[in-house]
Amino acid sequence: MDRNQYPHTIFIVCGTQAEKSDRNSVMVVKMSNLTKTLKENTSESDEDDNDDDEEEEDTKPEFESVSLKHIGGINRIRSTVINDRKIAATWSDTGKVHIWDLSRLLHAVNDSSVMATYVRNQESPKPLFTFNGHMNEGFAMDWSPTVPGMLATGDCSKNIHIWKPNETEWVVDQRPYVGHTSSVEDIQWSPNEQSVFTSCSVDRSIRVWDIRAMPSKACMLTETDAHTSDVNVVSWNKHEPFLISGGDDGYIKVWDLRQLSKQTPVASFKHHHSSITSVQWHHIDSSVFAAAGADNQITLWDLAVEKDDEENKEQTANNNKNNQLENLPDQLLFIHMGQTDIKEVHWHRQIPGLLISTALSGFNIFKTISA
């Protein structure tokens, strides 16, 4: 379902990283009355100014949030839907992984009377399930898009565990999937194959696993030196057999799973000046992806872009006037700046072209003019 009509309303689930362990929260945020950015008005008329004030009031975005208590800073949070229930999993810096039912929180941000009761009674739902089996904290986490409720988590001690739901809770295989030699940084399930997922690590490798095999033998493909340093993030294309990876070396690399044994990416981009912190393929346009870096940039890319001879001549002429453009890759569509310490960027699944980013300085919700 595409939502093209303004104003927009979106919901976000997020987690905090407070200095004190017992001061952390899982938050459900409702952002509504989101409109296009207003053009600057140059009129000096008092009547126009009054009209503008009323218009600005009408188009002012609204922000509502509700939270539950969470012990430990939240390293990562991921949400899913299971039997119409909105569920979230959190990776805590205490080394525990929790699963939460967000239903009550969503009711509260949608209904002022429910919100009043929630706040008055100081409600804070408890976890549906908690796993203590990881030997260390972690960051890697992903819900399966093909098997509702199946979860993979990876920790800083190189271990990966698979969670499978039953009628009342989750069963976690205590045997870890072992292959990485250092911290597992990110995990992504295949969008098409129920038993397959990929992971990346501080050990510089990308691995592809099949959980139909024994955990000790489940690693089917390995890209040993995918980057020259830590591999921080991976994303699996929903339409093509491609992975994107981003590393501490600042490179974004595109891998063809059919040629992973060749140890060579099909594309490699070096635009960011620091570590890549987030990558995500567009869920519909198979050639488009977004990336974020520790250099406080978010970039949008399209692998399908190729300039013809006339465009190359024009670009060369422009580059002679502006050397800053000279080394920009043709596939780089857009650069978004203004945030500090960007952690994640995600495409909205229903609003075409809309991106949501989270950073130390807060959230940005934006859509490029071409989207």
144-163 residue pLDDT tens: 999 999 999 999 999 999 99
Q: Which of 34-38, 45-49, 118-122, 268-272 bottoms out in mean pLDDT, i.e. has the lowest? A: 45-49
Report the SS3 class of residue 204.
coil
Runs of H (alpha helix) within the chain: 46-58, 103-110, 112-120, 309-321
Model pLDDT, residue 281: 98
Rounded CA separation 182/26 (Å): 29
In this prediction, residue 233 carries a pLDDT of: 99
pLDDT at position 309 is: 52
Contact 92, 98 (CB under 8 A): yes
DSSP bridge partners of 354: 367
Mean pLDDT score, 341-346: 98
| 332 has pLDDT over 80 | yes
Q: Are 181 and 158 in contact (CB under 8 A)?
A: yes
Largest CA distance in the chain: 75
Mean pLDDT of 251-274: 94
pLDDT at 321 over 60: no
* pLDDT of amino acid 316: 58
Token pair for 226: 């995918």
191: left (phi over 0), alpha (psi -120 to 50) or beta: alpha
Cα gap 282→349, rounded to integer Å? 9
Give me the residues paired with residue 213 across strands: none
Is pLDDT above 60 for 44?
no
Share of residues in the chain with pLDDT > 70 (%): 88
The pLDDT of residue 310 is above 70:
no
State residue 329's pLDDT score.
Answer: 93
**CA 126, CA 130: separation in Å to the nearest integer?**
10
pLDDT over threshold 80, residue 198: yes
Alpha helices (H) in 130-241, listed in sequence order: none
Give the residue, 323 or 73, on which the prediction is more confident: 73
Report yes or no: 246 and 232 within 8 Å, Cβ to Cβ: yes
199 near 235, Cβ under 8 Å? no
* Exposed e or buried b per residue across 342-364, where buried means at least 16 C-beta atoms within 10 angstroms of its C-beta: bebbbbbeebebbbbbbbeeeeb
Number of residues in the chain = 371
| CA angle, residues 63, 66, 68, in degrees to nearest 5 | 155
- For residue 40, is pLDDT > 70? no
The secondary structure of 294-355 as a DSSP string is TTSEEEEEETT----HHHHHHHHHHHHH-GGGTT--TTEEEEEE--SSEEEEEE-SSSTTEE
CA distance 37 to 171: 47
Reported as a single tens digit per residue, the pLDDT across 211-231 is 999 999 999 999 999 999 999
Q: According to the model, what pLDDT value does residue 143 have?
A: 99
